Amino acid sequence: MVGIGLIGSGFMGKCHALAWTSVRAVFGDAPEVRLVHLGEANTALADTRAREFGFARASGDWRAVVDDPDVDIVSITAPNRFHAEMAIAALEAGKHVWCEKPMAPEFAAAERMAAAAQASGKVAALGYNYVQSPSIRHIGALLAEGAIGAVNHLRIEMDEDFMADPDAPFFWKHEASSGYGALDDFAVHPLSLIETLFGRVARVMCDMAMPYPERRTAEGGRRAVETYDVASTLLRLENGVSGTLLANRSAWGRKGRLQLQIFGSKGSIVFDQERFNELKLYVTSDRPTEQGYRTILSSPHHEPYGSFVPAPGHGLGFNDLKTIECREVLARIEGRQARLIDFASGLEIERTVHAMARSFREGRWVDVRQERPRNG
């Protein structure tokens, strides 16, 4: 039996708890797990969430979770600025780690996380659950078989509107301690898809924008916003493919849009996370009289959809992707092949993010591989 510890019980903490609860029921090959210890910012909240989520113990100090001898894996869903300290402590205590993205606001801290993971010999996975989508997996298969020929260009956008209201109050994601803003809060997800489907980014040219430089505070005053809600980047991948990456946290009407357009010599593919149970495929091999985008609905033919639903077109949800990711974490721990963004791959995503930020500061193209990112 595998003992589970959870640090943080907000939206993503609940997603992790649901994944740990359901992974064995969905995937018969997953080992039995036990929800051992939940840590939160205070004891009262920890006790409440432990009862709701089904954890045996609760603590108002996250270190108690890391030190618990019955905990084998620590899920970390606390705010970004705490990731490095928590993950390194868990790895040094001999625990496996499943940490939400991004790794850390500072590149040096992300480097320490990757080094700790390598030194520990433990599994250290990051919460890039969008790469687990059956549709994204099928896109990878289509690319591998050359369904759209040689890829020459990609466009990827991630938009939400939870910061679109200028009257919304200041909160922790507006603080510089949380990172750059849209780059490390949002752009890391598109970068995880690029990493999974195409490989690494070679060069970047980035611009960022701050639509609302000030926000109201709970006390009635105003506070300067320290992060950028919009980022626009030109990309050149190591394989020569050109691309654009756009991220916007202030995009009215967009709720969970992560759109990927892939253009090749013999067709194209379009995918949108807001409709992530379908993808669109255009191939030039069709007769001219029938050429056009066809919609492909997710079905048991697209693994691991069939582990959840036996019929096509019924659709999976966001939390199901987390359950798939949970299974991949357990598979890696057992020494089996797994589809994961680990700390080593995650560090390369962080490197690209910091290169983008440096490009914005310096107003030039930046080579991701040859220049070590500077924080700031």
pLDDT at 178 (0 to 100): 86
- Would you call 373 helix, strand, or coil by DSSP? coil
Residues 221, 371 contacting (CB under 8 angstroms)? no
Domain assignment of residue 372, yes or no: no
Domain-ending residue, one of 129, 163, 187 = 129
One-letter amino acid for residue 50 of the chain: A
Q: Are residues 141 and 234 in the same domain?
A: yes
pLDDT at 376 (0 to 100): 43
Domain assignment of residue 91, yes or no: yes
Residues 66, 86 contacting (CB under 8 angstroms)? yes
pLDDT at 240 (0 to 100): 96
Q: Are residues 221 and 249 in the same domain?
A: yes
Q: Are residues 136 and 182 in the same domain?
A: yes
* DSSP-derived pairing of the beta strands 341-342 and 222-224: unpaired
Domain assignment of residue 332, yes or no: no
H/E run at residue 74: strand 73-76
Residue 169 burial (10 A CB sphere; 0-12, 13-18, 19+): exposed
Helix axes of 43-53 and 11-26: crossing angle, nearest 10 degrees? 30
Domain assignment of residue 42, yes or no: yes
Q: Are residues 107 and 162 in the same domain?
A: no
pLDDT at 373 (0 to 100): 59
As for how many domains the chain has, the answer is 2
Domain assignment of residue 365, yes or no: no
* CATH number of domain containing 34: 3.40.50.720
Residues 84, 104 contacting (CB under 8 angstroms)? yes
Domain-ending residue, one of 129, 150, 181 = 129
Domain assignment of residue 161, yes or no: yes
Q: Are residues 250 and 151 in the same domain?
A: yes
How far, in Å, CA of 330 to CA of 339, rounded? 11
Domain-ending residue, one of 75, 96, 129 = 129
- Of 132, 101, 189, 125, the C-alpha closest to 317 is 132
Give the chain's residues under pLDDT 70. 370-376
* DSSP-derived pairing of the beta strands 124-126 and 151-159: unpaired
Domain that holds residue 35: 2-129
Domain assignment of residue 227, yes or no: yes
pLDDT at 48 (0 to 100): 98
Q: Are residues 173 and 72 in the same domain?
A: no
* CATH number of domain containing 163: 3.30.360.10
Average pLDDT, the chain: 96
The pLDDT tens digits of the residues spanning 106-125 come to 999 999 999 999 999 999 99
Q: Are residues 141 and 49 in the same domain?
A: no
* DSSP-derived pairing of the beta strands 2-7 and 33-39: parallel
Q: Are residues 125 and 137 in the same domain?
A: no
Q: Are residues 237 and 115 in the same domain?
A: no
pLDDT at 375 (0 to 100): 52
pTM: 0.94
**What b-and-e string marks burial along 16-41, b requiring 16 or more CB atoms within 10 Å of the CB?**
bbbbbbbbbebbeebeebbbbbbbbe
Cβ-based neighbour number of residue 79 at 10 Å: 16
Q: Are residues 187 and 166 in the same domain?
A: yes
Q: Are residues 80 and 140 in the same domain?
A: no
How is 267-302 classified by DSSP, letter by letter? Answer: EEEEEEGGGTTEEEEEETTS-TTT-SPEEEE--TTS
Domain assignment of residue 99, yes or no: yes
Q: Are residues 109 and 144 in the same domain?
A: no
